[in-house]
């Protein structure tokens, strides 16, 4: 629900920064589908019916896909912010994130037909196989790379952006670390969604500052026009 509210708010305020708003919207949509997929996976786990059988498998597959997709979408948005603040071009690390996401997509798709990372028992419950830590490791590597880029260019960000971006990356690292060792706990997904909301809060803060500066400029322009009108009057008198 919070993600949907955030998407609506971003679309309403997109005139402030159309390109950034679009990139953040894609990230929030991905976060929404991630939570919906994970919720369905939990609601129908252990349901032995034919409907439960398909819903659990589809929702788990979708949760992994959207989890991988969040990494490059976040990299696209963060890269845009850094480039906008610093004017530095050539921030190509986002392509590494896309590469990691594609690797994740391929592995999850292969696992659907030949399970080697996770599978489901006769009670229709998810369980991890011998190579079940691979998705968490891919996400961990992607987050660490993005964290390194943010630290390198952190001086170009305002205070609120620094806090939001650091938390955006630190929370998922903690969640993914727990997920690697304790399967069945969706802390990694929850951390990713909370982190996306932190970026939304940072966006709203920038929007608020934009409106304050805009109102300040309008006030100064009004004073300038009034002054120009008053001066000829006194000269005439």
Query: Can you tell me the distance from the alpha carbon of 69 to that of 28, in angstroms, rounded to the nearest whole number?
Result: 11
What's residue 167's pLDDT? Answer: 77
In this prediction, residue 188 carries a pLDDT of: 66
Q: Enter the tokens of residue 69.
A: 């997709």
- pLDDT the model gives residue 235: 58
Which residues are CB-contacts of 68 (< 8 A; sequence separation ≥ 6)? 100, 101, 104, 105, 108, 135, 138, 139
Count of CB atoms situated within 10 Å of the CB of 200: 23
Kindly list the averaged pLDDT for each block of 10 residues, start to end, along the chain of length 237.
80 84 89 86 85 90 90 88 79 88 94 91 86 84 86 82 78 69 61 76 80 79 72 59
- Given this model, what pLDDT does residue 234 score? 59
Give dist(CA 132, CA 173) in Å, integer.
17
Rounded Cα distance between 61 and 67, Å, is 10
The whole-model pTM stands at 0.79
């Amino acid at each position: 629900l919070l993600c949907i509210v955030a998407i609506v708010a971003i679309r309403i305020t997109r005139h402030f920064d159309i390109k950034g708003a679009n990139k953040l919207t894609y990230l929030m949509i991905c976060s929404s589908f991630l939570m919906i997929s994970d919720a369905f996976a939990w609601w129908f786990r252990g349901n032995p019916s034919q409907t439960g059988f398909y819903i659990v498998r589809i929702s788990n597959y979708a949760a992994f896909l959207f989890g991988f997709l969040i990494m490059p979408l976040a990299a696209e948005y963060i890269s845009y912010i850094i480039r906008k603040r610093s004017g530095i071009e050539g921030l190509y690390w986002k392509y590494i994130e896309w590469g990691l996401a594609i690797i994740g997509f391929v592995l999850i798709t292969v696992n659907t037909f030949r399970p080697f990372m996770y599978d489901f028992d006769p009670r229709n419950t998810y369980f991890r196989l011998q190579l079940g830590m691979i998705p968490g490791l891919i996400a961990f590597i992607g987050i660490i790379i993005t964290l390194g880029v943010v630290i390198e260019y952190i001086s170009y960000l305002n205070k609120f952006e620094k806090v939001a971006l650091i938390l955006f990356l630190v929370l998922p690292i903690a969640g993914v670390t727990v997920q690697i060792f304790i399967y069945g706990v969706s802390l990694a997904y929850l951390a990713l969604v909370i982190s996306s909301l932190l970026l939304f809060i940072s966006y709203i803060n920038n929007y608020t500052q934009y409106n304050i500066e805009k109102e300040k400029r309008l006030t100064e322009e009004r004073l300038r026009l009034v002054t120009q009108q008053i001066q000829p009057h006194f000269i005439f008198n």
